[in-house]
């Protein structure tokens, strides 16, 4: 696992804190005392986590710590054994029909296995998530064009995914997750296969999206730790428990004094 590096002087401005709404507005994500058992083993043990609207959170931890499982619970792909997962104050598992669809439309996702269809062009891949909406053909085309421009994919509209580099494919996957203008982005493995400069480019694109429209971002990837700003929020998951929750600079300051963090981040006691 990568060491925690000090943020370089030339690093872009950090992702700022949450964009607050009216008094009493529910957070984008509220995980309350969640347990999850897999094959008789407790993979998540009483995890609680709140993410405010407009905030960015990076979740890191060793393989098998429960990061991807937690992301699946947030997306409603699995149900927790105990506890609650709320998106914008609502439990997706409790909703049906139009209400469930409306809540799902507020969320975009990039998962480890990718979501691109190799037989479709970049533009066709971006149009696909818009088909269930009530947008007209011209409105869908404008939404796809906006995503292409914002994710710096101009000139690639008619390319098939197999003709793209790994970094370009990741940007298309991100564009597809954002094309319907969600309020919350969940990503797992978005930076897989990328070197650190390419990871930083992805994070700059996410910063732009947060700046433009207050997007809430929750992702998991250990390499991405070196791409976040010193004041960005980092959550460390270890053996199903939250080991740390704070800024990257606080994590760096606390690591030498905590054996678990030192072992996790540097591979030694």
b vs e for 160-176, b when ≥16 Cβ sit within 10 Å of the residue's Cβ? bbeebeebbbbbbbbbb
> Hey, where are the domains in the chain?
28-106+184-269, 115-181
**Euclidean distance between CA atoms 247 and 236, whole angstroms:** 11
- C-alpha closest to that of 58 among 267, 230, 239: 230
DSSP 90: B
Residue 238: how many other CB atoms lie within 10 Å:
18
> Which tens digits make up the pLDDT trace of 184-227?
999 998 888 888 898 999 999 999 889 888 999 999 988 788 88
Does residue 269 surpass a pLDDT of 50? no
**Strand-pair partners of 56:** 217
Over residues 3-27, mean pLDDT: 49
Q: 259 falls in which pLDDT band (50, 70, 90)?
A: confident
> Which tens digits make up the pLDDT trace of 136-169?
999 999 999 999 999 999 999 999 999 999 889 9
Mean per-residue pLDDT over the chain, rounded: 86
pTM: 0.84
b vs e for 36-53, b when ≥16 Cβ sit within 10 Å of the residue's Cβ? beeeeeebbeebebbbbb
Does residue 101 surpass a pLDDT of 80? yes
Residue 119 sits at φ, ψ, to 5 deg, of -85, 0
**Euclidean distance between CA atoms 167 and 144, whole angstroms:** 19
**Euclidean distance between CA atoms 197 and 203, whole angstroms:** 10
CATH number at 28-106+184-269: 3.40.50.300
pLDDT at 14: 41
Does residue 63 surpass a pLDDT of 90? no
Residue 17: how many other CB atoms lie within 10 Å:
14
Q: What percent of the chain has pLDDT over 70?
A: 90
Over residues 100-125, mean pLDDT: 89
What's the alpha-carbon Rg for the chain, to the nearest Å? 19
Q: 22 vs 103, which has greater pLDDT?
A: 103
């Amino acid at each position: 696992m990568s060491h925690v590096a000090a943020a370089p002087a030339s690093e872009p401005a950090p992702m700022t804190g949450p964009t607050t709404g009216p008094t009493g507005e529910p957070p984008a994500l509220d995980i309350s005392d969640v347990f999850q058992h897999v094959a008789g083993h407790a993979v998540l043990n009483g995890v609680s986590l709140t993410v405010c609207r407009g905030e960015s959170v990076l979740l890191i931890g060793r393989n098998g710590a429960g990061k991807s499982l937690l992301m699946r619970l947030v997306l409603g792909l699995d149900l927790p054994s105990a506890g609650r997962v709320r998106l914008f104050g609502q439990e997706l598992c409790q909703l049906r029909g139009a209400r469930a669809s409306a809540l799902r439309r507020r969320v975009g996702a990039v998962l480890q296995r990718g979501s691109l269809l190799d037989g479709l062009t970049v533009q066709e891949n971006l149009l696909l998530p818009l088909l269930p909406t009530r947008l007209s053909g011209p409105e869908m085309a404008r939404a796809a064009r906006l995503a292409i421009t914002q994710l710096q994919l101009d000139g690639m509209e008619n390319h098939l995914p197999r003709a793209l580099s790994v970094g370009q494919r990741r940007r298309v996957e991100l564009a597809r997750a954002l094309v319907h203008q969600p309020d919350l982005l969940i990503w797992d493995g978005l930076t897989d296969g990328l070197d650190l400069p390419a990871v930083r480019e992805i994070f700059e694109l996410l910063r732009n999206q947060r700046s433009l429209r207050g997007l809430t971002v929750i992702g998991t990837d250990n390499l991405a730790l070196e791409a976040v700003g010193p004041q960005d929020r980092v959550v460390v998951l270890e053996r199903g428990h939250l080991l740390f929750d704070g800024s990257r600079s606080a994590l760096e300051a606390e690591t030498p004094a905590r054996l678990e963090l030192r072992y996790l981040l540097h591979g030694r006691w």
